[in-house]
Structure 1
Amino acid sequence: MVCFRLSWVPGSVLFSLCLILGAVPSYALEVNLTDSENATCLYAKWQMNFTVTYETTNKEYKNVTIFEHGSPTYAGSVCKDDHNRSVIEVQFVPGFSWTVNFTKDSSNYLIDGILISYNTTENSTFPNAKDKGVQTVYYPVGYTVPLNNIFRCSSLLPVDEKNVVHNYWDVHVQAFVENGTVSTKEFVCAEDKASTTVAPIVPTTATPAPTTPTPKKPEVGHYVVTNGNGTCLLATMGLQLNITQDKVVSIININPNTTDFSGSCQPQSALLRLNSSSIQYLDFVFALKNDNRFYLKEVNASMNLANGSVFSTANNNLSYWDAPIGSSYMCNKEQTVQVSETFHINTFSLRVQPFNVAGGKYSTAQECSLDDDTILIPIIVGAGLSGLIIVIVIAYLIGRRKSYAGYQTL
């Protein structure tokens, strides 16, 4: 027997579905496999999403979010077979499946790997796909967990393999459950154990009191995304997040020393993702404009605040950091990216190049208008001429006054 519980992450709406598995970025997922005696033998609860990028016959690249297409089913899920193997296998839309394998020995069990299979001949899911056929993507997980321990990983686990981006977070799983009771002993993933202290959050009101401390400038981080051809995205920036929730403002300086990053590069788009213990994900998505310029098109964010709440926002209609393809965009002065009414990002010492990176180095930069100091030259010249004219006028008036006084004496 297999049951899946799906629940809204923000809010209290909760419903259960058996024999159905569905997940989108705003859903949590829970699995309970039972043996012939109706005792739990595998338990898992996690959140995930994934997107497939494919090329069309029109030489365009499209992203397909699988969960937007129909209701998934499952088959082949095994709690434990004769070879000490357990499997969770799910079929989503026709031709698309997701499988995770577990194996065990005398003292440990292994979260072995994840296999994703999809068929681009399914025109309803992959309309006008250029390359037709079954595509498979295997990701070796390789987590070894002691028996009678539940594996826990709250951090974001991003995976980018062969045009499939899949992400996992808030993972709790125990394979080969003993005596039908899920263990309370936790085996924590390395990502959660890492020191991920975030700069202080400064709560203020909508009208801050004069004594509210001014947040320090964030430390500048350097982020590099690679693909099969080498470096494909470069970013250097200090980031300060400004969040307004329930009329309370939180300011978070991102510490690059305790922040993980990942990303992907496609011909028409590029992604940089940051995450830490408090930031589930902070995505910067770049796109092409008229095939000769790039710009920041989208920002997505989800993070845990100090009061225990979760803040999420997204905007895919931005237009920042515009520069020609083959160059980088630079802005040393403080700049603001307004994502929504409740979320904006201040950047410091910014430089980005999401396309056509050559030799792992930045190309010539297009500077932002805030950095353009050329206007100072005419201002300085004009101010100097104005001062000279004023001096001449004053000298002339003084000279006339002395001459007039001399005639009065005569």
Structure 2
Amino acid sequence: MVCFRLFPVPGSGLVLVCLVLGALRSYALELTLQDSGKATCLYAKWQMTFRVHYETTNKTYKTQTISDLGTVTYNGSICGDDQSGPRIAVQFRSGFSWIANFTKAASTYSIDSISFSYNTSDNVTFPDAKDKGMHTVYHPLGIEIPLNELFRCNSLSTLENNDVVQQYWDVHVQAFVQNGTVSKNEFLCDKDKTSTVVPTIHTTVPSPTTTPTPKEKPEAGTYSVNNGNGTCLLATMGLQLNITQDKVASVINVNPNTTHSTGSCQSHTALLRLNSSTIKYLDFVFAVKNENRFYLKEVNVSVNLVNGSVFSIANNNLSYWDAPLGSSYMCNKEQTVSVSGAFQINTFDLRVQPFNVIEGKYSTAEECSADSDLNFLIPVTVGVALGFLIIVVFISYMIGRRKSRTGYQSV
């Protein structure tokens, strides 16, 4: 761990910031604030990512995931005083900022609110954004924690506001640290409490994880995205979502008859977004690599579960459905796209072409290895069968010929 002093804060002494080496790569942040007496007053360690849905100048929509924060600063982070409570302030990229405010009561302290500001004038992050400028989303929280206890929430937490989704995990924070020592007593968030305690199930044998009822093969649907020049993305697939949240497993077959598709097409990226009454959004983001191939790079999902909760997760570091530009990718056999340990997508009868669609039709397909193996085995099997038949006929002929000679021997 490397510690460095950023700046003096009036009324709060010197601020000392500690960052774990390599944290920017894993996007884990760790912050320690010290007061004028060099005693720790606030400690925080957490990971976060942001997803912003925005309109482009050509009236299409894009979703940008911000997980690589780049160079991070903490200007404005304070221990707090009689006029204002503690605050964590993070700055990153071009005009982006994130602030968490804390308040104190008689025997508790609270994570009072979180605000996130992003700059759509940043053309690198938001190419072709229609509405340029700064935007801020604010979330009042009011999470109360006993004084001198460390708040911990390793589980994924999601905040949604209009077109912005914020996700946090591996959160450890203590404001109003007493005697300069971070407490070893942990106050767990509700999700962590659920994940560490086996739920009571009214059966003869308690089970920590429910097993979903197996579902039939989902119906394949055809989805498309249009731009000003016609169809720019085609996809045909049966989709089965496998979700595990709070040790409860769910399987959802996507019904193409009640599922709608939207999206956008750019020269090097393409988005297919599906939504229904259950699925708030299911994004498939494709990208071009090496200027001659495309692949599935990112999946974002938010689903309403039967228990009333919302499951949301994103992964922008995938590598599936790889095929040359100008062709489509096809896999009739079942495939699994593993987005995370808690979310997988099973696909059936898949065919997709996110670039260079001509006259709204698929181009020649590059088959997945599973289909290629099957196509290879069929002629091999037929060849082996024919070979075996030839051997049987030959042996039968030789036996018949030998009997014929035996029957004409002289007495």
Q: Which interval holds the TM-score relative to the shorter structure? A: 0.5 to 0.7
Kindly tell me: are residues 377 and 118 of structure 1, through their superposed partners in 2, closer, same or farther at Cα, counting changes over 3 Å?
A: closer
**Native 8 Å contact 1:90 1:99 kept in 2:** yes
Which of 285, 288, 303 aligns to 2:286? It is: 288
- 1:188-267 matched pairs, under 5 angstroms: 188-195=188-195, 235-236=240-241, 257=247
Structure 2 counterpart SS, 1:404:
helix
**Native 8 Å contact 1:8 1:26 kept in 2:** no
Give, in whole Å, the separation in 1 of the partners of 2:162 and 2:378.
52
- Whether 2:183 is the aligned partner of 1:183: answer yes
Give, in whole Å, the separation in 2 of the partners of 1:260 and 1:187.
29
Q: What 5-or-longer segments of structure 1 have no aligned partner?
A: 11-22, 198-218, 223-232, 239-253, 272-283, 300-313, 340-344, 356-365
**Native 8 Å contact 2:73 2:91 kept in 1:** yes
**Native 8 Å contact 1:152 1:186 kept in 2:** yes
**2:69 maps to amino acid:** F
Kindly tell me: are residues 234 and 89 of structure 1, through their superposed partners in 2, closer, same or farther at Cα, counting changes over 3 Å?
A: farther
Q: What 5-or-longer segments of structure 2 have no aligned partner?
A: 1-12, 198-210, 215-237, 252-261, 265-269, 274-281, 300-314, 324-328, 353-365
Give, in whole Å, the separation in 1 of the partners of 2:145 and 2:168.
18
Give, in whole Å, the separation in 1 of the partners of 2:165 and 2:398.
78
Deviations 1:126-179 (A, max 9, x none): 454222133222345443211221212334445565554544343322223345
Structure 1 counterpart SS, 2:114:
strand
**2:347 maps to amino acid:** R
Structure 2 counterpart SS, 1:401:
helix
TM-score by length of structure 2 reads 0.52
Q: CA RMSD in A?
A: 5.5
Kindly tell me: are residues 142 and 87 of structure 1, through their superposed partners in 2, closer, same or farther at Cα, counting changes over 3 Å?
A: same
Match of 2:235?
A: none
- Whether 2:6 is the aligned partner of 1:8: answer no
Kindly tell me: are residues 113 and 9 of structure 1, through their superposed partners in 2, closer, same or farther at Cα, counting changes over 3 Å?
A: same
Deviations 1:80-122 (A, max 9, x none): 445x743323344554221112233333222133110123235
- Whether 2:353 is the aligned partner of 1:351: answer no
- Whether 2:407 is the aligned partner of 1:394: answer no
Kindly tell me: are residues 296 and 196 of structure 1, through their superposed partners in 2, closer, same or farther at Cα, counting changes over 3 Å?
A: farther
Match of 2:148?
A: 148
Give, in whole Å, the separation in 2 of the partners of 1:348 and 1:317.
12
Kindly tell me: are residues 115 and 396 of structure 1, through their superposed partners in 2, closer, same or farther at Cα, counting changes over 3 Å?
A: same
The percent identity for this pair of structures is: 43
- 1:28-43 matched pairs, under 5 angstroms: 28-32=29-33, 34=35, 40-43=40-43
Kindly tell me: are residues 147 and 33 of structure 1, through their superposed partners in 2, closer, same or farther at Cα, counting changes over 3 Å?
A: same
Deviations 1:358-399 (A, max 9, x none): xxxxxxxx9955368677776666655555544443333333
Match of 1:136?
A: 136
Match of 2:407?
A: 406
Give, in whole Å, the separation in 2 of the partners of 1:172 and 1:97.
20
Structure 2 counterpart SS, 1:409:
coil
**2:145 maps to amino acid:** V
Match of 2:80?
A: 79
Structure 2 counterpart SS, 1:191:
helix
**1:136 maps to amino acid:** T
Give, in whole Å, the separation in 1 of the partners of 2:188 and 2:333.
40
- Whether 2:65 is the aligned partner of 1:67: answer no
* Alignment size in residue pairs: 300
TM-score by length of structure 1 reads 0.52
**Native 8 Å contact 2:151 2:173 kept in 1:** yes
**Native 8 Å contact 1:25 1:49 kept in 2:** no
Give, in whole Å, the separation in 2 of the partners of 1:66 and 1:391.
67
Deviations 1:252-272 (A, max 9, x none): xx99947899xxx9754589x
Kindly tell me: are residues 259 and 183 of structure 1, through their superposed partners in 2, closer, same or farther at Cα, counting changes over 3 Å?
A: farther
